[in-house]
């Protein structure tokens, strides 16, 4: 039976009708009315009704960036959407009577999609790291999505890797989000440009771009093999690899799936991650090495994962499948 997946982002809300094999049959999207929880409910209801215009819809899954409670009902905190202890599932249920609804963290939904239908398929233990403006993550262990006792597990971006390091938006210092994100990559590149030497290419591109350095400019430099840009990417990969070694010591995943915009660099990013992982892995030489690979579902992962989790929840299969 089909399910609907909704992925609420800071700028857009994407929706899709998804079959049991993770195939998107129909999709729609709308701008996110950020800062207006009631308007977000309106948009989600509109998308569900549009996508569900036909038989065979068993459930709706909604993914959003933020802390979701263990009951998959309340959004504790979503900084980009202005939600604080928002009873989102109840608000949707009032408008969509008779529909089985689940709420989940967007990184969890994306990670589940990769586990079920993408780069983690065929494993039982997978960790996904998403590299964007920040760093997100999802953990599958023993074939189940790991949410923790309060529902907020998997916040890999706030694993602290540099004691007393750069301040993070979470209120702490030295989180991997400050050293392994797209923003960190731009900071590394800017520092390399300011130092001269191999940073001359970055400095010239920055000057040609009105004195600013953005992700598109840096991605082009990486593609062109610019020495300074590649050095910035290696620095990013080194920090991520160190974090993966700590994660591996605790969770022992078979595969690390790397997603997000920076992941399009492929092995240029994965190679330094692997090297740093091995350099910092406890009991090196006596521990099987996991696979490091790039996510496959890209922008569709959120809606596909949300729909699949909702379908499994509605069917009662989560006890064995998640």
What's residue 221's pLDDT? 97
Residues 88 and 210 occupy one common structural domain: no
**Residue 140 maps to a domain:** yes
Rounded Cα distance between 307 and 2, Å, is 8
Residues 210 and 193 occupy one common structural domain: yes
Residues 57 and 35 occupy one common structural domain: yes
Residues 143 and 274 occupy one common structural domain: yes
Nearest to 190 by CA among 164, 211, 173, 169: 211
What's residue 80's pLDDT? 66
CATH number of the domain encompassing residue 308: 3.30.420.40
Torsion of CA 191, 196, 199, 201, to 10 degrees: 130
Residues 127 and 155 occupy one common structural domain: yes
CA distances from 261 to 102, 130, 177 (A): 27, 8, 14
What's residue 320's pLDDT? 41
Residues 106 and 127 occupy one common structural domain: no
**Residue 313 maps to a domain:** yes
Domain that holds residue 61: 2-112+299-321
**Residue 137 maps to a domain:** yes
pLDDT per residue over 57-108, tens digit each? 889 999 998 889 888 888 888 776 778 898 999 999 999 988 899 999 999 9
Residues 98 and 163 occupy one common structural domain: no
What are residue 127's DSSP bridge partners? Answer: 139, 256
**Spans of the chain below 70 pLDDT:** 54-56, 80, 318-322
Residues 104 and 247 occupy one common structural domain: no
User: In this structure, are residues 155 and 285 in contact, taking their beta carbons and an 8 Å threshold?
Assistant: no
**Residue 211 maps to a domain:** yes
The label of the residue with tokens 């093999």 reads: 225
**Residue 117 maps to a domain:** no
Residues 311 and 231 occupy one common structural domain: no
Contacts of 189 (CB under 8 A, 6+ apart): 199, 202, 213, 218, 228, 229, 232
What are residue 12's DSSP bridge partners? Answer: 31
**Residue 75 maps to a domain:** yes
User: In this structure, are residues 136 and 130 in contact, taking their beta carbons and an 8 Å threshold?
Assistant: yes
Residues 128 and 247 occupy one common structural domain: yes
What's residue 321's pLDDT? 46
What are residue 16's DSSP bridge partners? Answer: 5, 27
What's residue 16's pLDDT? 97
Residues 171 and 291 occupy one common structural domain: yes
Query: Per the structure, how many domains does the chain have?
Result: 2
**Residue 42 maps to a domain:** yes
Residues 275 and 168 occupy one common structural domain: yes
């Amino acid at each position: 039976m089909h399910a609907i997946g909704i992925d609420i982002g800071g700028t857009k809300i994407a929706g899709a009708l998804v079959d049991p094999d993770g195939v998107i049959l129909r999709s729609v999207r709308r701008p996110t009315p950020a800062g207006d929880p009631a308007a977000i409910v309106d948009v989600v209801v509109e998308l569900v009704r549009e996508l569900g215009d036909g038989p065979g819809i068993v459930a709706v899954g909604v993914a959003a960036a933020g802390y979701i409670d263990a009951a998959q009902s309340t959004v504790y905190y979503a900084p980009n959407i202005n939600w604080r202890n928002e009873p989102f599932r109840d608000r949707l249920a009032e408008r969509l009577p008779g529909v089985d609804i689940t709420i989940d963290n967007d990184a969890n939904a994306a990670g589940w999609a990769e586990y079920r239908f993408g780069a983690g398929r065929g494993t039982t233990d997978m960790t996904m790291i998403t590299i964007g403006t920040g760093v997100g993550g999802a953990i599958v262990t023993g074939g189940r999505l790991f949410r923790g006792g309060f529902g907020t597990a998997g916040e890999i971006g706030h694993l602290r890797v540099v004691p007393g390091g750069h301040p993070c938006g979470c209120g702490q210092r030295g989180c991997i989000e400050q050293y392994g994100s797209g923003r960190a990559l731009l900071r590394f590149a800017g520092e390399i440009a300011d130092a001269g030497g191999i940073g001359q290419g970055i400095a010239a591109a920055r000057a040609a771009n009105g004195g600013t350095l953005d992700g598109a400019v840096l991605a082009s430099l990486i593609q062109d093999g610019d020495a300074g840009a590649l050095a910035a990417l290696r620095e990013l990969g080194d920090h991520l690899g160190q974090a993966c070694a700590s994660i591996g010591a605790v969770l022992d995943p078979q595969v690390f799936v790397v997603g997000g915009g920076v992941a399009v660099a492929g092995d240029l990013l994965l190679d330094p991650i692997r090297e740093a992982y091995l350099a910092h892995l406890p009991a090196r030489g006596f521990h099987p090495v996991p696979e490091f690979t790039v996510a496959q579902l890209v922008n569709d992962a959120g809606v596909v994962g949300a729909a699949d989790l909702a379908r499994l929840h509605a069917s009662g299969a989560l006890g064995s499948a998640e």
